[in-house]
Amino acid sequence: MVVLTGIPNYPDGSFFDGYGIFSRQREVWNGIEIIRVPLIPRGSGGGLRLGLNYISFAFFASLLAPLRCRGSFDAIFVHEPSPITVGLPAVVMRWLKKAPIFFWVLDLWPETLEAAGGVKSSKVLGLVGRLVRYIYSRCDKVLVQSRRFVEPIRAHGVGAEDILYFPSWAEAVYRPVPKPKGFNDEFGLSQGFSIMFAGNIGAAQDFESILSAAEQLKSSKDIHWLIVGDGRKADWVRKEIELRELNETVHMLGRHPVERMPEFFAAAAAMLVSLKAEPIFAMTIPGKVQSYLACGRPVIAMLDGEGSAVVEESGAGFTCAAGDAEALAAAARKMAALSEEERIRMGVEGRRYYEKHFERDMLFSKLEAWMTNANTGDGITAGDKKG
């Protein structure tokens, strides 16, 4: 296996220590060859720098992949959390190597660009739409992380038979662990019922509504909101906590290694996942849903659509509409009123659902079968579509 990627620079926006344009271009990790191509780091994440980051990777990967990725390949797998431009080097390699492309869509473009990126220009969105259609038309199979991605992708001209449901999974580190001792002392927290948000603190996560819910429960000193992570809106959240005088019940714990996350989750009484009320977000399953379920934790979800449906189907917790701060506050009260045994039962149900629908080895077996079929003639082959 060969992985073609860029120089690591997320989330801080600068190259990781030890990495650069001319250093560590090739590595071997667990027997997997990793080839890195130059790119412009994302910086603070502003529109211009993000655009340069996206375009530079697509350019250098398309130019250098044919020179650095030697030999033949049975399949090309594209991981597309964002942006759609990561598909361009794959199109080049498909043409050269005659290998089928399996394009895994985790973010719908141009919809995400408009909803989360703030791009409103119909001309820009139209150009991106044409690029999306071009890339999809050259993929042999389009894999979707959410069942609600199917229709938008079909609207770009992809046949239903070429779209496969392939949801995300949680990394192996995410598993049920005992409640840690001394957690509250480590972070200077008082005793009480704690609701934890873990992950990116960005515009899409709708911290306006989360803080509004916390404000409604301000007098309930035993209900605490713990925010673990970092992101572009972290400073705004800190200021709002001060302005709304929420210091006693809303606590920002900072960013911590992923290896500690199961311990953090176990320390909380319930986990929180949220996204803004946007049509595109209603189609997605936020990655933290799988992580929460894998750890067997009860969940409060302020989501619309697919993510909400997963939490409800699993029986892992309570849901409310995206952007509904009042309903979120009510869900928090409802969760806090449950016995510990009832919350444990929710976590067990969530873990059971995770193992049935999102377990990594099961999903990889499916992917391997699809790729095998593509190369044995039982299904798609490179060249079935225009190249």
CATH code for the part of the protein at 2-170+360-376: 3.40.50.2000
The pLDDT of residue 376: 55
Find the range with the poorest average confidence among 110-124, 153-167, 178-192, 220-234. Answer: 110-124
Average pLDDT, stretch 326-335?
98
The pLDDT of residue 385: 39
Q: The tokens of 212 are what?
A: 């509004």
pLDDT over threshold 60, residue 383: no
> Which residues in the chain are classed under CATH 3.40.50.2000?
2-170+360-376, 183-357
pLDDT over threshold 80, residue 31: yes
Written out in words, the top-level CATH class of the domain with range 183-357 is alpha beta
CA distance 19 to 37: 11
What's the whole-number average pLDDT of the chain?
93
**Interval 252-263: pLDDT, tens:** 999 999 999 999
Average pLDDT, stretch 231-259?
96
The pLDDT of residue 387: 32
* Residue at token pair 């389009």: 142
Question: Is residue 58 within a helix (H) or strand (E), and if so which, with residue range?
Answer: helix 47-68
pLDDT over threshold 90, residue 245: yes
pLDDT over threshold 60, residue 386: no
pLDDT over threshold 80, residue 234: yes
CA distance 40 to 50: 9
Q: Quick one: 219 exposed, middle or buried, by C-beta within 10 A (0-12, 13-18, 19+)?
A: exposed
pLDDT over threshold 50, residue 378: no
For the chain, the farthest-separated pair of C-alpha atoms sits apart, in whole angstroms, at 65
Average pLDDT, stretch 151-160?
95
pLDDT over threshold 80, residue 96: yes
Find the range with the poorest average confidence among 5-19, 50-64, 116-130, 272-286. Answer: 116-130
Residue 196, strand partner residues: 226, 271
pLDDT tier for residue 339 given thresholds of 50, 70 and 90: very high
CA distance 234 to 214: 16
